């Protein structure tokens, strides 16, 4: 009994600290990616016709950069016991440049893209090391539930920050200064919520000793090369990564463009978008919690399959209505399903990777995810631009052309989600009672 109490993975205060980080970094996702900055940049900072394409280009550039270095950093974090150091470094990067978005105004396209890319790099890279800490605050029996609760807390954090930024925007409608102030509020919210995890959570694994004559970077590439050579031993992880790469395309395309879709198809204003995302975050908390429980009781694979199927049906409904009220309902259902997919996806990684390679495997998944966030936005932006220009050349009004272009882009989202689901069917079902075995 005493050993169980001393096990850091069962420390409730450490878990709460881990949950709080999700509470804070979800504020960035809610305000910058979902509700405010994406629309502010694409409709105010940049030309409102080219804005969506430029926004997706910025998202893609950040994705490529993170994809290049996250596996190496994940490897270093595993053998040097430095997950928290990297978490602090990249969180600080995201917080600082989120705050600097305050200075981006109409016509400031270059710094608008630059500051966002740096904030996004920090946010995405920090997520690798935060996710890797999941095995330090949970056991094989509780990991699905802990992951789901963390995601649910993240949804609540997004709601709390959106309410904070909604107040000044509502008090001064149409005032872009209040929109810019929202980025300062988000940066502070993110920073404060990140402190507990850095103070309370302890890594379970002990640091390795570097071989004589090898530097940290050399050893990282050596271990990474070893994993690549032995990748056939981790075939279930490889199959899951392929599935994730595809369905995560659709998820990232939907998340990064949700506000743009709402603005073009349904005429949503900033305050309405914030309310929509609050609803999405609220239902997302329920979805993360519920699908986390499904993951524990059945399997992570089953939970992802259920939530993906639901998300596909919900996104397809966008082709059949232009009613604002109905769109709120679609948003609520999409948030529920989408959070379920994302919360359980990180549980799958821990179940398909050796205990000594968790951060490294999260780094590999980050390659898939960040590649997705390059390919997905590129496809979305390219389809949007091609069909919008096509409709403009045929003499349609600007609004009609933009609506037609965005519908074709939504179709590409559905395709990625469906194909990703089909690939997931071939991945092995893993449970605590029937785990994968690794000969290490």
Render pLDDT for 236-293 as a digit per residue (tens, 0 to 9): 888 888 898 899 889 888 888 888 898 889 888 888 888 888 888 788 878 877 887 8
Residue 433 lies in a domain: no
Answer yes or no: is 235 within a domain. yes
What radius of gyration do the chain's Cα atoms show? 21
What does the pLDDT read at residue 366? 60
pLDDT value, residue 112: 95
pLDDT tens figures, 315-371: 999 998 888 888 899 989 998 998 888 778 877 877 787 776 666 676 666 655 555
Q: Is residue 165 part of a domain?
A: yes
Report the C-alpha gap between 71 and 400 in whole angstroms.
Answer: 43
Count of structural domains, the chain:
1
Q: Is residue 29 part of a domain?
A: yes
Average pLDDT over residues 192-202: 90
Going by C-alpha positions, the residue among 185, 196, 184, 118 that lies closest to residue 150 is 196
The token duo for 122 is: 């920090």
Share of the chain above pLDDT 70, in %: 83
Residue 224 lies in a domain: no
* pLDDT score recorded for residue 2: 44
In this structure, is residue 163 part of a structural domain? yes
> What average pLDDT does range 419-433 have in this prediction?
86
The predicted-structure confidence for 42-101, as pLDDT tens digits, reads as follows 888 987 677 888 888 888 888 788 777 766 776 676 666 678 888 999 999 999 999 999
- Which of 325, 344, 313 has its CA nearest to residue 414? 313
Here the CATH number for the domain that contains residue 181 is 1.20.1250.20
Q: Name the average pLDDT for the chain.
A: 83
Classify residue 222: in a domain, yes or no.
no
Lowest mean pLDDT, pick from 33-37, 361-365, 394-398: 361-365
Average pLDDT of the segment spanning 224-234: 67
Q: pTM of the full predicted structure?
A: 0.75
Residue carrying the six token digits 């089953």: 302
> Percent of the chain scored above 90 by pLDDT?
31
Using the predicted structure, report yes or no on whether residue 399 has a pLDDT greater than 60. yes
pLDDT score at 222: 73
Q: Could you tell me the residue range of the domain that residue 49 belongs to?
A: 2-201+230-424
| Within a domain: 336 | yes
């Amino acid at each position: 009994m005493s050993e169980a109490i001393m096990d850091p993975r069962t420390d409730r205060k450490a878990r709460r600290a881990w949950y709080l980080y999700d509470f804070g970094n979800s504020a960035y996702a809610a305000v910058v990616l979902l509700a405010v900055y994406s629309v502010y940049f694409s409709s105010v900072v940049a030309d409102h016709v080219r804005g969506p394409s430029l926004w997706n280009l910025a998202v893609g550039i950040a994705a490529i950069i993170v994809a290049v270095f996250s596996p190496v950093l994940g490897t270093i974090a595993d053998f040097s016991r430095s997950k928290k150091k990297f978490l602090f470094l990249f969180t600080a990067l995201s917080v600082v440049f989120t705050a600097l978005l305050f200075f981006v105004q109409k016509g400031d396209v270059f710094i608008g893209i630059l500051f966002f890319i740096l904030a996004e790099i920090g946010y995405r890279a920090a997520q690798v090391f935060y996710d890797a800490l999941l095995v330090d605050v949970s056991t094989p029996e509780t990991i699905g539930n802990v992951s789901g609760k963390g995601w649910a807390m993240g949804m609540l954090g997004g709601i709390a920050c959106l309410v904070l930024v909604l107040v000044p925007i509502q008090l001064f409608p149409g005032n872009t200064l209040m929109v810019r102030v929202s980025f300062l509020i988000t940066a502070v919210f993110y920073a404060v919520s990140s402190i507990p995890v850095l103070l309370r959570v302890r890594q379970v694994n002990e640091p390795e000793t570097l071989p004589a004559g090898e530097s940290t970077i050399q050893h990282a590439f050596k271990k990474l090369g070893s994993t690549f050579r032995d990748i056939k031993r981790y075939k279930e992880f490889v199959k899951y990564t392929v599935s994730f790469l595809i369905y995560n395309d659709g998820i990232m395309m939907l998340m990064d463009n949700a506000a743009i879709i709402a603005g073009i198809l349904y005429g949503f204003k900033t305050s309405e978008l914030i309310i929509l995302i609050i609803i999405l975050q609220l239902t997302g908390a329920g979805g993360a919690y519920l699908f986390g429980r499904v993951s524990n009781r059945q399997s992570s694979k089953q939970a992802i399959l259920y939530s993906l199927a639901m998300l596909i049906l919900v996104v397809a409904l966008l082709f059949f209505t232009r009613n604002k009220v109905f769109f709120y309902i679609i948003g609520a259902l999409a948030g529920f399903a989408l959070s379920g997919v994302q919360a359980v996806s990180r549980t799958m990684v821990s179940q398909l990777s050796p205990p000594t390679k968790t951060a490294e495997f999260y780094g590999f998944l980050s390659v898939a995810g960040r590649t997705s966030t390059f390919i997905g936005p590129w496809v979305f932006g390219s389809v949007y631009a091609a069909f919008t220009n096509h409709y403009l050349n045929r003499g349609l009004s600007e609004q009609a052309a933009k609506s037609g272009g965005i519908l074709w882009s939504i179709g590409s989202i559905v395709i990625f989600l469906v194909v990703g689901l089909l690939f997931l069917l071939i991945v092995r079902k893993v449970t605590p009672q029937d785990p994968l075995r690794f000969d290490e």
